């Protein structure tokens, strides 16, 4: 007896199966209400992206706009994975979107957060370039042009962001941003949960690949779509995008569709997930 339990359509091709459209249709049918609300939020995100009028002299808008764009893309990507039953991987994207939404909220509420995030990003880029230059194995695959480009970028960061090189550890602390700017619930409910049961190779993640066979008193590993946690995964994604939209409305007051947003939030709450 094989230790692996495969979905009937996936033994040969896995999630690249030519029968995937039928699987998607079935999952969307089973989660029709949740997917409908997700699509409504997605449309609101696209409307916000189209309606933005960025002031180049406003650091909050300059940084907030791409953060919001990233959040929307991660949200939409998570929905695509949900409709395929790839809920673990959808959770990874939801976690990424949650992190982005937490940063976006900080930027929308406090202009000083722009400097903190920018310095943190420059610190990370500089540290990565330094690690490549000082890793003997990496240097063997770098050309002289690659090495010169990395050193040039380090010099550029040192010139434009002199404080970046003196930062220690990870200067962008997601939990601190969440506690400071009012997204602690998003951090605890979504970010931390998806860290443990989706993003990392934890026991919580791995047990979702185990199928109990009671009458044989054994466990088998399973490979295939998952639907049991569909509603919860979509609800986490909706929580993230609602926070992102709230923040982008704060940054760009000219964006319309506020009433549609309130209606979508009400529809989400009516699902009672």
Instruction: Output the tens digit of pLDDT for each of the chain's 273 residues.
Output: 455 566 677 778 888 988 889 999 999 999 999 999 999 999 999 999 999 999 999 999 999 999 999 999 999 999 999 999 999 999 999 999 999 999 999 999 999 999 999 999 999 999 999 999 999 898 889 999 999 999 999 999 999 999 998 888 777 899 999 999 999 999 999 999 998 877 787 777 777 777 665 554 456 777 888 888 999 999 999 999 999 999 999 999 989 888 899 999 999 999 876
Query: Which letter does DSSP use for residue 110 in this model?
Result: -
In a domain, 1, yes or no: no
**How many angstroms separate the CA atoms of 125 and 164, rounded?**
10
Buried b / exposed e along 135-146 (16+ C-beta atoms within 10 A): eeeeeeeeeeee
Per-residue confidence (pLDDT) for residue 205, from 0 to 100: 77
Look at the chain and report how many structural domains it folds into: 1
Q: Which residues span the domain enclosing 96?
A: 31-113+170-211+224-270
Q: What was the pLDDT predicted at 186?
A: 96
Residue 150 lies in a domain: no
> Rounded to 5, what percent of the chain is helix, strand, coil?
70, 5, 25
Q: State the pLDDT at residue 158.
A: 96
pLDDT of residue 1: 41
At residue 88, the pLDDT reads: 92
The answer to the question of residue 42 being in a domain is: yes
Q: Does residue 146 fall inside a structural domain?
A: no
| Per-residue model confidence (pLDDT) at position 7 | 67
Q: Is residue 179 part of a domain?
A: yes
pTM: 0.88
Helix or strand holding residue 176 (H, E): helix 174-181
Most distant CA atoms of the chain, gap in Å: 68
**Residue 4 located in a structural domain:** no
- Domain-embedded: residue 231: yes
Confirm if 113 and 177 have CB atoms less than 8 A apart.
yes
What strands, in cross-sheet order, belong to the sheet with 210-213? Answer: 4-6, 218-223, 210-213
Q: Is residue 17 part of a domain?
A: no
């Amino acid at each position: 007896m094989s230790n692996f339990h495969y979905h009937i359509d996936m033994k040969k091709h896995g999630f690249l199966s030519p029968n995937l459209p039928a699987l998607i249709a079935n999952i969307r049918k089973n989660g029709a209400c949740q997917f409908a609300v997700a699509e409504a939020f997605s449309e609101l995100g696209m409307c916000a992206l189209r309606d933005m009028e960025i002031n180049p002299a406003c650091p909050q808008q300059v940084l907030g706009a791409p953060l919001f764009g990233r959040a929307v893309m991660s949200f939409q990507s998570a929905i695509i994975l949900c409709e395929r039953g790839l809920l673990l991987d959808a959770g990874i994207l939801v976690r990424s979107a949650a992190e982005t939404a937490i940063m976006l909220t900080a930027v929308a509420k406090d202009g000083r957060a722009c400097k903190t995030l920018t310095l943190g990003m420059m610190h990370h880029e500089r540290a990565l370039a330094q690690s490549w230059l000082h890793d003997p194995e990496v240097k063997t695959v770098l050309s002289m042009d690659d090495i010169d480009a990395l050193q040039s970028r380090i010099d550029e960061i040192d010139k434009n962001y002199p404080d970046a090189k003196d930062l220690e550890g990870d200067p962008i602390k997601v939990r601190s941003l969440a506690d400071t700017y009012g997204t602690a619930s998003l951090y605890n409910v979504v970010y931390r949960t998806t860290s443990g049961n989706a993003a990392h190779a934890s026991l919580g993640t791995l047990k979702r690949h185990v199928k109990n066979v009671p009458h044989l008193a054994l466990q088998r590993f399973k490979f295939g779509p998952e639907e049991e946690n569909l509603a919860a995964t979509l609800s986490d994604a909706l929580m993230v995008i609602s926070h992102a939209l709230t923040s982008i409305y704060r940054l760009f007051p000219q964006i319309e569709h506020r009433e549609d947003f309130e209606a979508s939030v009400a529809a989400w709450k009516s699902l009672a997930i």
